[in-house]
């Protein structure tokens, strides 16, 4: 097991380096740089000193140097916690990111937990009561859930909560609490706002998870060892939970590993619609305006989450399935 973890850890580091290189190149691929955007803005303002300012900025961020130099400068700073500066906001990237990361993680983790708590029992029920009325209803609902874009659900929920519950919509706080320090009242307000993004973001995953769980478990239920467990005289409940469900979890654990980066970037569109102070919209804007250090930082963060997610998923799989441990 230790050797297995060690091997996985080294390949994890190599992957991260490669991702950061490729990511940096891709971000720089579109013609021009943030400075071109900036220059255009200055031109509109009609500032005469535009060229000089641009030259100064170019020097400061080494933008006149070749790409590999820029990369090395950025990545060596990155490992020391200096993520570079955002051109667009004219602030340290770290400030911008940490600020939003907390809310992002809360929203994402809540919606992840929500989707698992809803999807697993329904998936198990559907698989064990295949083609029953309830199963058909769940199947129908899950297809609707899969096919309706989540921003539409967000809009509908916003309308409902503002029209029928008289709540302020959008954001994570009412206006009164937006800049207030944390207090019980602010926490309550936060929780009142939290459920919409959690439900909206979670719902899309729920539908998918439900289908995966149903399909998997019904495959497993036709396996011979499930029949063996029944032949022992075990109650059906034990047969399903101890012998079948545990074998049906593999793809879901893999899925969990893949969904970790989504915790940072996830549901950008929903966040924009709901004007949530999360990382998604920030990342989206950074890409649009070629704010390369900000975008690059997000990219590496997501890569780290993905790699860690897969790493954790592998360890979890090895714990669930002894066949993986010994390979």
Provide the binding-site residues for other proteins, judged by CB under 8 A.
223-225, 227-236, 242-243, 246-247, 320-323, 326
Helix (H) or strand (E) holding 92: strand 91-92
Report the C-alpha gap between 169 and 158 in whole angstroms: 6
Which residue number, 54 or 320, has a Cβ lying nearer to other proteins?
320
- Comparing CB distances to other proteins, the nearer of 178 and 236 is 236
Q: At what angle do helices 133-147 and 93-128 cross, to 10 degrees?
A: 150
CA dist 324 to 76, 94, 318, Å?
37, 39, 5
> Per DSSP, what are the bridge partners of residue 91?
86
Nearer to other proteins, 55 or 242 (CB): 242
What is the rounded CA–CA span in Å between residue 32 and residue 16?
A: 26
Residue nearer to other proteins on the CB measure, 51 or 236? 236
Residue 176 is given by DSSP the state G
Matching residue, tokens 């897969």: 310
- Residue 72 in tokens: 């090395």
Residue 246 or 288: the one with the smaller Cβ distance to other proteins is: 246
- Cα 290–chain centre separation: 21
Considering the complex, state which of residue 249 and residue 307 has its C-beta at the smaller distance from other proteins: 249
CB of 277 to other proteins, least distance (A): 43
* Residue corresponding to tokens 């994570």: 172
Q: Do 248 and 216 meet the contact criterion of CB atoms below 8 Å apart?
A: yes
């Amino acid at each position: 097991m230790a050797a297995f973890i060690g091997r996985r850890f080294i390949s994890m580091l190599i992957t991260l380096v490669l991702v950061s290189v490729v990511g940096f190149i891709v971000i720089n691929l579109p013609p021009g740089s943030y400075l071109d955007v900036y220059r255009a803005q200055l031109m509109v303002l009609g500032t005469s000193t535009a060229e000089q300012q641009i030259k100064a900025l170019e020097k400061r961020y080494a933008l006149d140097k070749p790409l590999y130099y820029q990369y090395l400068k950025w990545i060596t700073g990155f490992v020391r916690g200096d993520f570079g500066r955002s051109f667009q906001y004219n602030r340290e990237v770290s400030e911008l990111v940490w600020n939003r990361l907390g809310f992002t993680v809360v929203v994402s983790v809540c919606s992840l937990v929500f989707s698992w708590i809803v999807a697993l029992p329904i998936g198990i029920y559907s698989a064990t009561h295949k083609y029953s009325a309830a199963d058909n209803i769940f199947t129908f609902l899950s297809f609707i859930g899969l096919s309706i874009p989540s921003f539409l659900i967000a809009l509908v929920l916003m309308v409902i909560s503002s029209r029928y519950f008289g709540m302020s919509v959008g954001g994570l706080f009412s206006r009164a609490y937006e800049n207030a320090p944390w207090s019980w009242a602010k926490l309550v307000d936060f929780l009142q706002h939290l459920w919409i993004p959690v439900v909206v973001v979670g719902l899309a995953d729920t539908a998918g998870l439900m289908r995966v769980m149903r399909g998997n478990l019904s495959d497993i239920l036709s396996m011979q060892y499930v029949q063996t467990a029944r032949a022992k005289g075990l109650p059906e409940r034990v047969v399903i939970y101890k012998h079948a469900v545990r074998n049906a979890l593999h793809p879901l654990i893999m899925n969990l590993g893949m969904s970790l980066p989504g915790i940072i970037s996830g549901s950008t569109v929903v966040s924009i619609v709901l004007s949530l102070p999360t990382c998604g919209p920030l990342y989206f804007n950074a890409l649009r305006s070629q704010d390369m250090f900000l975008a690059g930082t997000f990219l590496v963060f997501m890569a780290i989450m993905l790699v860690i997610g897969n790493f954790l998923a592998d360890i979890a799989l090895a714990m669930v399935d002894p066949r993986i441990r010994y390979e």
